Amino acid sequence: MFPNRVVLFFVLFFSLNSFLTAQNADFVRNSLLQKSRQATKYFREQDFEKSLLLSREVLKKALLINDSVLIAASYNTIGSNYNEFSEFDKSIEYYKKALFYANKTTNDSLKFKVNNNLGNLYCFEKGQYELGIKHYKKAIFHSQNISNHTYTLLTSLNLTWAYFDKSNFEEGLLFLNYCNANFKEYGSDALSVVYQMVNGIYSSHIGDYKKARVFFEKAILLGYKYNELNDVSYAHNEFSKMLFRMGNYKEAYIHLNKFNEIKDKIYNEDKLFKASIAGLNLELDEYKRELTKIELIKEAQNQNLRKSKIIVILFVIVLFVLLMLIFTLIRNNSFKRKVNRELTIANNDLLLAKEKAEEASQMKSQFVSTISHELRTPLYGVIGITNMLIDEYKDLSKSQHLSSLKFSARYLLSLVNDILQINKIEENRVVLESMTFNIYDEIEMIIRSLSFLSQNNKNKVELLVDPKIPEYVIGDKLRFSQIIMNLVSNALKFTKNGIISIHVVLEKKEGKINHIGFKIKDTGVGIAAVDQDKIFDKFVQVGRNDTDYQGTGLGLSIVKRLLHLFGSEITLESAIGQGTIFSFSIPFESDLDKTNDLINNIRVDLSTSQIFKVLVVEDNRINQLVTKKIMEKNLYKCCVVDDGYEALKILETEIFDIILMDINMPLLNGFETTRLIRNKNISTPIIALTAFDKEEISEEAISAGMNDIIIKPFDQSKLFKAMSTLIYDAKNVG
């Protein structure tokens, strides 16, 4: 019995010892977490000495227990302190160490904070905007992983400020619009100062000084109210800049003086001296540790390739089948010759019919192409001049007649695009692409674009999206948008004083494939049962009378054919006077790795306020006026010539940053002009600005030496993005 008791005693002893060790480890970690939070609190109170001393203590113990979360948090706090001392290189060093350890964890909140801090430092202290914006976008990605909309809003405000700081107001406005749309729901007292300030910066930029003053004064008031001294100092500074531009030097001096007073208050010399002593001690600790050892990732590659017996067997089988076929062909050759004689007359007739059919198809394609080109050219002028009138004469921007003109022009452009789209689908020239996008944002943008039609018929649009649907999906965003656009616009046309509901639900998930169901319901006139089988045919319009304005009847036909490309079918439920419901399901892929790659590969326009020279080669006088106005409005220096010969002549004496080339010109067309330019060894980027369909001219455009193709009427943001990219690439190569 004695030996058994001894064994039992030791088992109990070691079990109890292990339990006590685990309990002690948890106690130590919880204690360190509390101290780490206290160090952060000291930093926010500008007590830098205490913050550094406590962070140093936590870091030592965290390294001993190898806790990556605590190590990263400590380095992040230390980096923040050095940032406040204006020792930016040291701050970056500690932030990078924090990011190294944070990336070892699954803590997206910690990764967000470090990336956001690096973004602030690179953008506003080092002036390295490209690197800073990259970290901001990583921060947004991590905030979305944990669905923290306040974090997303915070970084979006920082991105807005960064773009404004570089005078890139076009990109900054995109993020400002997001902040304005979401601040009420996800904003906080701490963010309100910066939120009001960036709105003030933008209002000042567009010349609305009265509105800007309201924003700045509100920012300053909120800053003092919530004791956000650092942010309120920047608000005083930005307000001072605006007042100086206005010529109000006295008030500008008052706010600049306020800025300096607050900074002096925050950065008390004695406080900073004590903190620097603590920082030196911390750096000594860093040198004592052997933290220079980096774990090397060994990539094991298997260099032994196994020979596949299946491939050899398949090759033998295919060879055998080919031999059998040759043997069969030889045996049946005599029989075929006899049959061929009998079918010669029939084949000749079929060939003749085939030639006529191909000729008719080619004529149809040429007709569609010619008509679309001839319509797009004047439409470009109509839309462009309408926008010019709205921009230059603000009183006309609310004119119903001008809005109707703009709507009609865009409607006609949509009609041309619909005819081209149905023609491409019938000729099997549409191939689905893979892009990452947000379903909610895409549908919301479509609803906003149709607001004119919605208001015209006094309709209300409701959008309900299942929260289980992934935030980002992968699929053909353009074709998906065309489907939703056609169905929603169709519902708005045939509904008056009603409700259009869009329901999106996750039906099932198979691995990375999400089967997402869509239902578009309206309370409109409805469709009779007898007409429901034919509404998806081309040019079919049901229930149209002389007072209706319902289009050409191509929308639903395009929807059905596009859904067929997605491998889906559309169903219809409707009755006269009871509205209509269209339903369908589309499989979309969701992949966080692909989404992350997309975010990291986003090209950000970091162009300065440099004015670039643009040569516009265009024979149409109205289009010359529109294109020149668009270029000059966006700070490009523009030179316009009427034909290719004039372009060649001016290029002998002047240098341009980019050339916008029309295709269909008299004397010398755009392709011939481009070839002659390239023969002169002129490498200036050339964009084809044309009303032809892109697929029809892309091969010849590339062979001629053109760099890109933009179709008129064009999306201005798309054109300027292409121009910026080509100019940037050309200057870097040069």
81-127 per-position pLDDT tens digit:
888 777 888 889 898 889 999 898 999 999 999 999 999 889 888 88
- Return the residue matching tokens 């036909």: 557
More confident residue, 274 or 568: 568
Q: Which pLDDT does position 399 carry in this prediction? A: 65
424-470 per-position pLDDT tens digit:
566 566 667 778 889 998 899 888 878 878 888 889 999 999 999 99
Terminal-residue alpha carbon distance, the chain: 91
More confident residue, 134 or 44: 134
Return d(Cα 74, Cα 101) in angstroms, integer: 10
Residue 294: band (very low, low, confident or very high) from pLDDT cuts 50, 70, 90: very low
Return d(Cα 705, Cα 688) in angstroms, integer: 10
In the DSSP assignment, the letter for residue 513 is E
Residue 545 has pLDDT above 50, yes or no: no
Return d(Cα 176, Cα 302) in angstroms, integer: 51
Asked if residues 276 and 246 have their Cβ atoms less than 8 Å apart, the reply is no
- For residue 18, the surrounding DSSP H or E stretch is helix 2-44
Q: What percentage of the chain has pLDDT greater than the value 90? A: 25
Q: Count the alpha carbons within 13 Å of 238 in the hemisphere toward its beta carbon.
A: 32
699-719 per-position pLDDT tens digit:
888 999 999 998 887 778 788
What phi, psi does 690 have (nearest 5°)? Answer: -140, 160
Sign of the C-alpha dihedral computed for residues 351, 352, 353 and 356 taken in this order: positive
Lowest-pLDDT range of 54-58, 150-154, 357-361: 357-361
**Domains located in the chain, CATH noted:** 355-429 (1.10.287), 435-599 (3.30.565.10), 613-733 (3.40.50.2300)
Sign of the C-alpha dihedral computed for residues 160, 162, 165 and 166 taken in this order: negative
More confident residue, 688 or 694: 688
pTM of the model: 0.41
Residue 290 has pLDDT above 50, yes or no: no
Q: Which amino acid is at 17?
A: N
320-344 per-position pLDDT tens digit:
787 887 888 787 776 777 777 777 7
Which three-class secondary structure state does DSSP give residue 248? coil
**Token couple for 25:** 């480890």
